[in-house]
Structure 1
Amino acid sequence: MTTLLSVAPLRLGSLQIDPPVVLAPMAGVTNAAFRRLCAEQGAGLYVCEMITSRGVVERDEKTLNMLVFADVEDVRSVQLYGVDPYYVGEAVKILAGDYGVAHVDLNFGCPVPKVTRKGGGAALPYKRGLLERILRAAVGAAAPYGIPVTMKTRKGIDDDHITYLDAGRIAEDAGCAAIALHGRTAVQHYSGTADWTSIARLKEHVSIPVLGNGDIWEAADAVRMLEATGADGVVVGRGCLGRPWLFRDLAAVLSGSPPPTLPTLGEVVAMMRRHAELLADLMGEDRGLRDIRKHMAWYLKGFVAGQQVRASLGMVSSLAELDGLLGELDPAQPYPVAELGQPRGRQGSPRKVALPAGWLDDTDGVTDDLAAAELDISGG
């Protein structure tokens, strides 16, 4: 049984996020169609896929094409990647001035090699001075537009190089509106269990709002995290893959109401069809239906469905074909309760973090050309 918890709205500058739930950016997933699908389930903040500051400043076509927002997104929110304070500051000005972005989140949590080997993502907070320069550049650029800047980070690179408490202090001093912490190190990637005690420690360490991230698979997990850590809100990533209604459940339990009943397969099928329709509207039917393919296994996880139907859904190419395949599923089939609380999406195992040569030699000095270290490809 889910404990009920009435939680105050999250304040980010002039923004009020109620309930205090944030959709984490996920490469190849959180495009405008998926964000709209989640927003239709419950209020909160829905963040665009990560884009690169260099891509914005240099007007890279792929990057700018990602800056598409659904009508229901009252608050346009973008996660920005960068390692050069100049590029980050200039990108914030463009996002706010040209695209009406009302919230910028800075990515210091990504563990993938192509990011960390440039000194970005989860590697960057180790360089405390550089982190401060980037945050101050972003906050300063955002100030004339009155938009809040937040940051997301991890505990550190590994257990011997923990950075999150220093990062929290630096973020607060730089004027960030909040900090989100994924309770894993970069070396863990998405393996193992998130350390919620680190979120509690960060909450005790800073006065700005702290958001907890990691292992929120059900609404009950969010309640447990908030009770255990005192965090001001939650960030949800892999838990909503194939389960956009998680935001409906979160909106209920965080307002003190019981969670809605679990969906039948028929209700899940309706969600799959809506998702495909939104993707087709966003990208065109051909691209949209190719994009929905990766979501099929997530939606059907635990349900009884024929192997042939599953395989065909993984190759679906039109809305008409999708309708025919979905029609073969039993709409009355109950939700597979054995899947509740189970990890979703990528997990993997711990792996060595790719870092620039000499990155761990000191916690401040950066002598390489920062502009050359900027990625120009958005999307994570």
Structure 2
Amino acid sequence: MRIGPHVLPNRLFVAPMAGVTDRPFRILCRQLGAGHAVSEMVTSQPHLYASLKTSRRANHDGEPGPIAVQIAGTDAAMMAEAARYNIERGAQIIDINMGCPAKKVCNAWAGSALMQNEPLAIAIAEAVVAACSPSGVPVTLKMRTGWNAESRNAVRLARAFEAVGVQMLTVHGRTREQGYKGHAEYDTIAAVKQAVRIPVVANGDITDGVSALAVLLRTGADAIMVGRAAQGRPWIFREIAHYLTHGQAPAPPATEVVRQALIAHLHEHYALYGEYTGVRTARKHIAWYLQDVPEGKALRCAINQVDSSAEQVRLLDAWLAQLARRHPRWPATQASDATQHHDALAV
């Protein structure tokens, strides 16, 4: 799998998710089998470059390459400048966000709202490619199948994006109108793959090895991207890789391995966000890890009352050590609606 000059170790990607795929989480996912990770969405508005949120999202200290930064905005010139700004700070791939369905993004006509204005969407892609070309930095783009079911225009836009120099496309198999509801639709992704020569990545409802293989077969995509299923389960990439290679799911990870990974993740999280913010934003990651673990609810409630990173780690580490003695293998069985419709995906 290649993006411009960059050869990736595999075709399993972690999706950019605002408030989730920060640097510690991206590094963890890559350590646990992801071949590529894209940053959280970074604004193209210059007056926000110095904000704490943007500076954290643009922090790539110690992150293995290629470093991919996703930018969002509605002005072609600003988006081009944002690309140059992030390249100066280490970005090796620039990803354009035309897939975010969040209201606060779409209400500003950014993210997936751009799919309603095809001339502007194409102008933005062209401007960003032109800004990145002198540095040899490839441009990728993430979009949805369309704004709604009546206006699925991903194929038409895909051809235009390829024509202006975008080097890889990721398609989430839902419209903006769907948000994250219902099931992903893969026929449009397959049509995009047939329409262009550049790599196409399939995204949406990939939750395990079975669904990953089914989506690859159904769409013909070059790679798959996992989003929400990696929350609290970053080892999903190893599980998918094992299934694609061996045709069967691997054993759950050792609980002690999960314990070590989670504690290390928390320390990196605190280092990035500081004590006050770090403790509070770590709670959601802890909740995701423990959401289906026996007796995890009581621990989550206790964790939410703690205001110290040291105490947060102490409580969690002690509880996980006890869990490891009772369950040598991680006991969670994270199932979702998406895992229950594999048969519908089969070719």
Give the TM-score of the pair, scaled to structure 1. 0.82
User: Is structure 2 residue 173 aligned with structure 1 residue 183?
Assistant: yes
For residues 209 and 186 of structure 1, the distance between their equivalents in structure 2, rounded to whole angstroms, comes to 22
Relative to 1, partners in 2 of residues 1:165 and 1:306: Cα closer, same or farther, differing over 3 Å?
closer
For 1:66, the aligned partner's letter is R
Q: Go from structure 1 to structure 2 and tell me whether the alpha carbon gap of 1:89 and 1:319 turns closer, same or farther (over 3 Å shift).
A: same
| Counterpart check, 1:138 vs 2:128 | yes
CA contact 1:293–1:315 (8 Å) conserved in 2: no
- How far did residue 310 of structure 1 move? 2.3
**Cα distance in 2 for residues equivalent to 1:37 and 1:94:** 26
Aligned: 1:63 with 2:54: yes
Residue aligning to 1:11: 2
Q: Which residue matches 1:113?
A: 103
Is the 2:270–2:309 Cα contact (8 Å) retained in structure 1? no
Quote how far apart the aligned CAs of 1:289 are.
2.3
Q: Classify 1:219/1:314 alpha carbon distance in 2 versus 1 (closer, same or farther; 3 Å).
A: farther
1:249 equivalent among 221, 231, 239: 239
Does the 8 Å CA contact 1:88/1:138 hold for their aligned counterparts? Answer: yes
Q: Secondary structure at the match of 2:94?
A: strand
More helix by share: 2
Cα offsets for 1:198-221 (capped at 9, x unmatched): 211111111111100000111332
Contact 1:42–1:248 (Cα < 8 Å) also in 2: yes
**CA–CA distance in 2 between the matches of 1:315 and 1:224?**
42
Letter in 2 for 1:47: V
The 3 A distance-change label for structure 1 pair 189 and 241 is same
- Does residue 28 of the first structure (1) align with residue 23 of the second (2)? no
Equivalent residue pairs, number: 334
Task: Please list every run of 5 or more consecutive structure 2 residues that lacks an aligned counterpart in the other structure.
Answer: 340-347
User: 2:89 is matched by which residue type in structure 1?
Assistant: Y
The RMSD of aligned alpha carbons is 2.2
Q: Relative to structure 1, is the Cα distance of residues 201 and 311 closer, same or farther in structure 2, using a 3 angstrom cutoff?
A: same
Quick one: which amino acid aligns to residue 283 of structure 2?
A: R
Aligned to 1:294: 284
Q: Find the aligned partners of 1:343 and 1:283 in 2 and give their Cα distance.
A: 33
Cα gap change, 1:269 to 1:305, in 2 (>3 Å): farther
Structure 2 residue corresponding to 1:127, chosen from 111, 117, 133? 117
Matching of residue 149 in structure 1 with residue 174 in structure 2:
no
Name the amino acid aligned to 1:156. G
1:192-203 aligned at under 5 Å gives the runs: 192-203=182-193
Q: Secondary structure in 2 aligned to 1:339?
A: coil
Q: Does structure 1 retain, via aligned residues, the 8 Å contact 2:65–2:92?
A: no
CA drift at 1:49: 0.7
Kindly indicate whether structure 1 or structure 2 has the higher relative contact order, using CA contacts under 8 Å at least 6 residues apart. 1
* Contact 1:51–1:79 (CA under 8 A) maintained in structure 2: yes
Q: CA shift at 1:307, angstroms?
A: 4.2
Corresponding residue to 1:330 among 304, 323, 329: 323
Give TM-score, length-normalised by structure 2: 0.89
Deviates more, 1:263-272 or 1:176-185: 263-272
Separation (CA, whole Å) in 1 of partners of 2:330 and 2:268: 24
Q: Does 1:91 align with 2:82?
A: yes
Quick one: structure 1 residues 245 and 80, their matched pair in 2 at CA, closer, same or farther if it must change by over 3 Å?
A: same
Q: Structure 1: any 5+ residue segments left out of the alignment?
A: 1-9, 345-380
